[in-house]
Amino acid sequence: MADSTASASPYGTASAHPADRPVYVIGGGPGGLAAAHALRARGVRAVVLERSDRVGASWRRHYDRLRLHTTRRLSALPGLPMPRRFGRWVSRDDMVRYLEKYAEHHGLEIVTGVEVTRVQRAPDGAGWLLRATGGRELAAAAVVVATGHNHTPRIPDWPGRATYTGAFLHASEYRGPAPYAGRDVLVVGAGNTGAEIAVDLAEGGASRVRLSVRTAPHIVRRSTAGWAAQYTAVLVRRLPVRLVDRLARPVARLSVPDLSAHGLHRPATGLYSRVTEGAVPVQDVGLVDAVRRGRVEIVAAVDGFEDGAVVLADGTRAEPDAVIAATGYVRALEGLVGHLGVLDARGRPVVHGPRSPRNAPGLYFTGFTNPISGMLRELARDARRIAKAVAREHGATASRIPR
């Protein structure tokens, strides 16, 4: 889809005059769309480059029962509220509909089927040069990287994994429980995705469901007496980490039963301390009840695979019919921007939001953190701040929207 008011081609050229260079937004998910609208609202021409054939590609691949763990009101992007009919906890399909409507409503300039493979400084020193599929070279006044937190599935390098002949898939390939009815399934990873898939399997007819846990997660109620956990997260996000850790302990004891007898112990590390390390709490959408009833069994971490079995850290072996690895994702930014010195040792951008790296002015990142207050809320806030920074720092050289 393309902005009907834009007379110029969505593709710049490497030799484009600085004033003709748009801001390129890499990624057509929520962060990219929000940034493009916020830039457009400031009169800056923004072109979204999306490698798939539609916006919201990663959302379309999520499992069927997924609902946002953040409220509808605090998950909307700038300039378009989510419809009330979506309910308080928005479903995957409604989220996809919202992203499609968002792009249409704001007349965003989006080019699909184009993957940017490398971002480098423009030869003339003014702005950036993007190398993309099809041999394209695109000149940009500034670049917003919004390829997403869940970009490339991560599967640990478990010993024996390559020779394992049983059914094995990453959680990104899981859609629903029907193929596993009557089967023994081991889910590896106790984050929000692993916990929810385990519950989905138990409710969907799997004969046995085991959840492999390496580090016990903090578990919080999604909502208590109508008060969403996200509201509390927004209130405490600026408080000292140790203070939030202390406040969270008694709340957890009161709201979440002790599951130690079932193999799921309370974490030794504080809740907010874990968030700063990249691990958000697991919101309970049925896991606590499933564990207490024995419908989801907690087992030790996976150490490897051997002779068709899964070897666990406590020395026991499991022989499930299927293994689902809910082991997260990697950002996969190294090939795109790793040569610019803008990533830390873990492959994360050294800055995000309205700040550019000192050695890479005009390069912005959004969507690569996992904030306790909600990813979508923070993407919306980032979009406005990035647009303000771009208009201030690069407005004179960026292409403007024709009036």
Q: For residue 8, what pLDDT is reported?
A: 40
Do 168 and 273 have their domain in common? Answer: yes
Within-domain flag for 375: yes
- What's the whole-model pTM score? 0.91
CATH number of the domain where residue 82 is located: 3.50.50.60
* Phi and psi angles of residue 187, each rounded to the nearest 5 degrees, phi first: -100, 125
Do 321 and 370 have their domain in common? Answer: no
Do 281 and 357 have their domain in common? Answer: no
Do 146 and 159 have their domain in common? Answer: no
Do 255 and 280 have their domain in common? Answer: yes
> Could you tell me what percent of the chain has a pLDDT over 70?
95
Q: Where are the beta strands (DSSP E) in 308-403?
A: 309-312, 317-318, 322-325, 329-330, 363-365
Do 197 and 247 have their domain in common? Answer: yes
Overall number of domains in the chain: 2
Asked which of 325, 352, 379 is the last residue of a domain, the reply is 325
Six-digit token string for 166: 């049983």
Within-domain flag for 6: no
Q: For residue 56, what pLDDT is reported?
A: 95
Q: For residue 5, what pLDDT is reported?
A: 34
Q: What is the pLDDT of residues 83-106, one digit of tens each?
A: 999 999 999 999 999 999 999 999
Do 147 and 174 have their domain in common? Answer: no
Nearest to 171 by CA among 154, 157, 158: 154
Q: Where are the beta strands (DSSP E) in 308-362?
A: 309-312, 317-318, 322-325, 329-330
Do 108 and 230 have their domain in common? Answer: no
Within-domain flag for 67: yes
Do 232 and 192 have their domain in common? Answer: yes
Within-domain flag for 7: no
Q: In the chain, which residues have pLDDT < 50?
A: 1-8
Asked which of 291, 306, 325 is the last residue of a domain, the reply is 325
Q: For residue 11, what pLDDT is reported?
A: 58
Number of H helices, E strands in the chain: 10, 22
Within-domain flag for 239: yes
Q: How far apart are CA 384 and CA 380, in angstroms?
A: 7
Asked which of 307, 325, 343 is the last residue of a domain, the reply is 325
Do 76 and 225 have their domain in common? Answer: no
- Per the structure, the complete domain to which residue 207 belongs is given by 155-325
Do 29 and 87 have their domain in common? Answer: yes
Within-domain flag for 183: yes
Q: For residue 198, what pLDDT is reported?
A: 98
Within-domain flag for 3: no
Q: What is the pLDDT of residues 320-359, one digit of tens each?
A: 999 999 999 999 999 999 999 999 999 999 999 999 999 9
Q: For residue 18, what pLDDT is reported?
A: 59
Q: For residue 2, what pLDDT is reported?
A: 43
Do 161 and 308 have their domain in common? Answer: yes
Within-domain flag for 12: no
Cα of first residue to Cα of last residue in the chain, in angstroms, is: 19
* Phi and psi angles of residue 217, each rounded to the nearest 5 degrees, phi first: -85, 160
Q: For residue 13, what pLDDT is reported?
A: 56
